[in-house]
Amino acid sequence: MDIQLEKKKGIRKQHIPYIAGGGAVLALLLWIVFGNHASTLKVDGRSLNIAEVTYGEFNDYIRVNGQVQPISVVQLSPEEGGIVREKVVEEGAHVKKGDVILRLSNSNLDLQILNAESELAEKQNLLRNTQVTMQQDKLNNETEKVQLDVDARRKLRTFNQYERLYRERLISREEYLQAKEDYEVSVKKHGLVTERLVQDSIYRTIQMDQMEDNLQNMRKNVLLIRERKDKLEVRAPIDGELGLLDAELGQNITAGQMVGQINDLSDFKIEAMIDEHYIDRVTNGLPATFERRGSQFSLKVRKVYPEVREGRFRTDFVFQGKRPENIRSGQTYYIDLQLGEPTQSVLIPKGTFFQVTGGNWIFVVDKDGKKAYRRKIRIGRQNPQYYEVTEGLEKGEKVIVSGYEGYKDNEVLVLK
């Protein structure tokens, strides 16, 4: 018969893996609930730049590089095109208003002048011939009028004689009527001729005035063309320095083409390129300063150009008061542009940490200086020296302001 075996009590060997797995899961759950997940990194405290958070005056300004430029630049563009015949002055020369810089030649313009002068002479001859013809017509008309005056008087005498003879019954009625009709025709013809003379006189006056006006216009046209000849000399429009001259002997220059520029050295301005981040804050009239050889000079924003190129926009500054000695075009000045009034704020020195964090967080050192913890902050304005902290830090705390490239993903730094 079979023997019934007694079951063993306690943990069997096959249960061990299950128990170990359950323990691991329990340990994981306990770590998730109660554990510290902050990733920690040990760093050398001597390699860090640690700064103290302060509370003080925040001066709202930016520093930009500016180049000295002439206060204005006038473009040189000939009104008449032509071939460069002579360069009278070279680049860099100081010129006075009206000085000749280039001389051009234009054979087509010479031909236009000859044609205009020939047409003017032809019109003058035509006017003289017309005047002679009209004068002859006037004399002929006046001669005809004189003859009609004589004829009318004769016909009147004949009519008067025939009228007396007819009353005395010495001539027939037909003869009397013919004398009367001849007189009346003579009177009407005289009146028509007189009216024609008046109309001819008015017509001649109008025609002569029109021809004289046309002739006068042609004279002005010839003068204008001759003035165009004078414009083949390119002259300086202002006193200044010839800063650019892009023309060579024999070169064909078209009308309106830029061939150079005159720099107005009566005053200077400073031209600066500013980051587009500040385009809404930079306006006309903002004050600025810069230092030169121990002296401070004042500027004012004169013009802000709206166009943004490569992330920057152009701004012009003009001097307020004195200028530096020996100022020259092309010099570079480091300008402090004031964007607003100073305010009392929480401040931290500028550092390379901003390149990684964007001002959204920073490592704050604890009181004993052994650890630094990552903390969210908010940075407002900035100037070349400080960041303005609007949220997350208090006066007296210490922060790491050096670069975070090696531990940007860590939460806690252990300072050795």
> For 188-208, how does the pLDDT look when each residue is reduced to its tens digit (9 = 90+)?
888 888 888 888 888 878 877
Supply the mean pLDDT for the chain.
83
What does the pLDDT average to over 248-257? Answer: 88
What does the pLDDT average to over 85-101? Answer: 89
Whether residue 160 has pLDDT greater than 80: yes
For residue 199, the model assigns a pLDDT of 84
| Side chain identity at residue 361, one-letter code | W
Q: What's the CA gap between 328 and 25, in Å, rounded? A: 78
**How would you classify the pairing of strands 50-52 and 287-292?**
unpaired
Q: What's the CA gap between 303 and 306, in Å, rounded? A: 10
**pTM listed for this prediction:** 0.57
Whether residue 152 has pLDDT greater than 50: yes
Q: What's the CA gap between 385 and 58, in Å, rounded? A: 10
For residue 346, the model assigns a pLDDT of 92
Across 67-76, 170-179, 385-394, least confident range = 170-179
* 4 C-beta neighbours (distance < 10 Å), count: 6
What does the pLDDT average to over 320-331? Answer: 88
For residue 65, the model assigns a pLDDT of 92
Structure tokens of 145?
Answer: 């009028």
What does the pLDDT average to over 229-250? Answer: 86
Q: Of residues 29 and 197, which shows the higher confidence score?
A: 197
CB 353 within 8 Å of CB 402 = yes
Structure tokens of 2?
Answer: 């079979």
- pLDDT band with cut points at 50, 70 and 90 for residue 35: very low
- pLDDT band with cut points at 50, 70 and 90 for residue 64: very high
* 385 C-beta neighbours (distance < 10 Å), count: 12
For residue 145, the model assigns a pLDDT of 78
Q: What's the CA gap between 209 and 15, in Å, rounded? A: 133
Tell how far CA 223 is from the center of its chain: 35
